[in-house]
A and B are shown apart, each in its own frame.
Chain A
């Protein structure tokens, strides 16, 4: 080999180029070799994994019940990986009755302890993988290890920890997160945080109320938004405090939350929010009004149908157009507002919901007043023309 290199050196600058050529050719060979080897290795690995999965599946019930000793599979990395992934998938799909048996298997085999240890001692991607696996176990004892990782200097690790806690989906998992949110120095993406809190607080939304009260500014808005998604009727009066909040985002969330309740104070509170100076608060109030079953909302919706914001008008029209028994009366009231934008929004929604045909029938009987009838006749003409056009087109298409 020595004579080759000495020969190249003698070439001077040309030798440098030659070295570069040889280097590139070597690179090409290495890359091709790597691709081929990787393919071969992966094919072999998956074949082996497949065989082991079939073998372990055949004894699955015995593995879960502990009849097959954990020692038989725990210390083989491939077997351990297969059993863990099957177990975690099963935990995710398990009913409350099935869950204890699977958790016992995780505990008795030492898999849970192994993951807790990894989450506390590893760093980087290994730690994040352990955190996510811990979250998937849904075991209460995972929470402290996951909570520790919330203080990690690495943002990726904090995100993995928040996601892990979200998968546990218990109120206890939300508390460490909420404590750090309240402290104000917790940097994770807002959407990840909100999704996790929704998962964890679904059954206990009231826990969020205290935290909303302790926070200010954007954090208060964030928590209020989650609360708005989860609020249940038993939150009741606490929502009224939020409905009077100084932050418009919080008021909007309160409006959203009120849509999930239907108590004595729901309608008056939404009435107030529907006249809020901020358009998106009014919009939320109108959407919430659309959700509740209360005939008293018609009066408020009619007012919001004349709102200066088109989104508010459209949602009000959407809600009104779905109140079928009262449609005739509503149409008369809309015409009486003498607001062209309101009338247009409402008729457009009637067309979209298909309720227009029923109203046309009613107008032929003559129950609607003159202006309503005039508005309707305009629509009827348009509908007829459209039907004729589509029939013609259908005939033409059939002819072709």
Chain B
């Protein structure tokens, strides 16, 4: 009986702390966002475009069996507004017509350029350069079964001081590169990596690989993910970056100092969450070298990505994310509470262990003890009700806070009805979606413990299938 009481109290404190931390992040994010918007007001993007001092950047696009979308995606990337751009597509042993489509569309020719594999990768078959678009290179390599290996090959071939990793099936907004690099220009000596925001593409109108009209998706499961993405990026990442503790830059859109990525050995091959893993290793390296640095997040450069539309795909994705989390936290456990790793070792990593990794386990234990306590008649009904209400109200407050941030800053959902829908879904997000997420994350832990690190395909509707006209 005593155990049940302690368990219930622990659960209450855990929820309270978790939500209080997010509330603190929300407040920091609101402040940081306001400052950023003021700065943007004084920044003229066209001057950056015209400046001879704007550093070149290499876009790395890993592609595996992307024949349906690769030509359009590459075309859109080449159309991005940036003065000095190089695009490297890495064909990671595609078994479909990805390479052939690229060869025909861009008249690829074998390029005799020196390729120095600073980071070891699977062997390259050939390097091609487009005869019609000199900024485009294509690396044709053997499949290594992981995205990280393809990205590493791209990093080896990149000639720019900054590299930007982009998913082949995502859409970058025209000015996104200039905007994300503005985060570097603010302090080029210290800023070693910058992340941009990833938003949900489902439901929006896409024409020629560019967003024409932003709309909320129709299905509830997709709208829930919109809220999750808003909260994770506009509150979580913005807040952590405010303390220079950003633990992750999304693999779908992020800029890194090329040399630093090489120094840390590139993306870890076969890492499940290669983006999280890289950023944590960057923190480690820079702390060990006592280098002043900043890993930044900029909320306005936007990458649009398709999210799962069915429960099965979403379950796989969430299980994989959780596997990626363990796969990064465990090898870096020596950073915990070590003085040399500063606030990363003392704050963000403990947070990730307690409030990210252990979250589904603690939730499961919590629900179980509540049920046992109810069955044995040891649960105070009023406590249970209060706990439920408080947890629900506080978490909803945070979700609505992220919608407010979106409203105060970028207002991508301009229609009244869309915002109303977002707000309504905020009220329903915590039941049963949250409980389902808990189950999927538990599956991730189980799969990791079994050694099942296999990548499972996500069912995609495809950009072209989104509502048009």
Contacts and interface: CB of A to CB of B under 8 A. Distances in A.
Interface stretch (A34-42, A80-88, A266-274, A359-367): A34-42
Interface string B402-416: 011001100000001
B114 A28 contact: no
Q: How large is the interface on A (under 10, 10 to 19, 20 to 34, 35 or more residues)?
A: 35 or more
Given A21-B386, A195-B53, A390-B103, A189 B188 contact: yes
B341 interface: no
B47 A195 contact: yes
A159 B53 CA distance: 17
B394 A128 contact: no
B104 A24 contact: no
B51 A128 contact: no
B382 A14 contact: yes
A393 B386 contact: no
B42 A163 contact: yes
B236 interface: no
A67 interface: no
A20 to B, nearest CB: 5
Contacts of B185: 189, 191-192
B contact face: mostly helix, strand, loop, or mixed = helix
A382 B110 contact: yes
B183 to A, nearest CB: 12
A18 interface: yes
A320 to B, nearest CB: 15
Contacts of A160: 42
B139 interface: no
Given A28-B393, A39-B419, A393 B104 contact: yes
A32 B134 CA distance: 51
Contacts of B41: 129, 132
A17 B404 contact: no
A21, A225, A393 interface centre (most CB from chain B within 10 Å): A21
Interface string A376-393: 000000100010001001
Contacts of B416: 39
A24 B397 contact: yes
Contacts of A39: 407, 416, 419
Interface string A339-374: 000001101100110100000000000000000000
Contact of A32 (B42, B109, B400): B400
A189 B387 CA distance: 51
Given A190-B188, A347-B112, A386-B109, A35 B407 contact: yes
Given A128-B38, A344-B112, A198 B404 contact: no
B390 A128 contact: no
A34 B407 CA distance: 10
Interface residues of B, number: 46
B113 A28 contact: no
Contact of A35 (B52, B54, B404): B404
Contact of B393 (A24, A166, A225, A394): A24
Contacts of A28: 393, 396-397, 400
A27 interface: yes
A198 B51 contact: yes
A397 interface: yes
Contact of A31 (B51, B404, B419): B404
Interface in A1-36: 14, 17-18, 20-21, 24-25, 27-28, 31-32, 34-35
B186 interface: yes
A322 interface: no
Given A28-B393, A39-B407, A310 B114 contact: yes
A382 B110 CA distance: 9
Interface in B1-60: 38-39, 41-42, 44, 47, 51-54
A25 B131 CA distance: 62
B467 to A, nearest CB: 24
A35 B387 contact: no
B273 interface: no
A229 B52 contact: yes
A314 B113 CA distance: 9
A14 B386 contact: yes
Interface string B303-315: 0000000000000
Contacts of A382: 110
B397 A132 contact: no
Contact of B103 (A21, A314, A393): A393
Nearest to A19: B390
A25 B42 contact: no
B187 interface: yes
Interface string A296-317: 0000000000000010001000
A27 B397 contact: yes
A74 interface: no
Contact of B104 (A21, A27, A390): A390
A194 interface: yes
A24 B134 contact: no
A125 interface: yes
Interface in A178-234: 189-192, 194-195, 198, 225, 229
Given A189-B186, A191-B185, 4 more contacts: A35-B404, A163-B44, A195-B51, A229-B52
5 contacts: A17-B386, A31-B397, A348-B111, A351-B112, A354-B131
What 7 pairs between A and B have smallest CB-CB spacing?
A24-B393, A348-B112, A17-B386, A31-B400, A27-B397, A24-B394, A21-B390
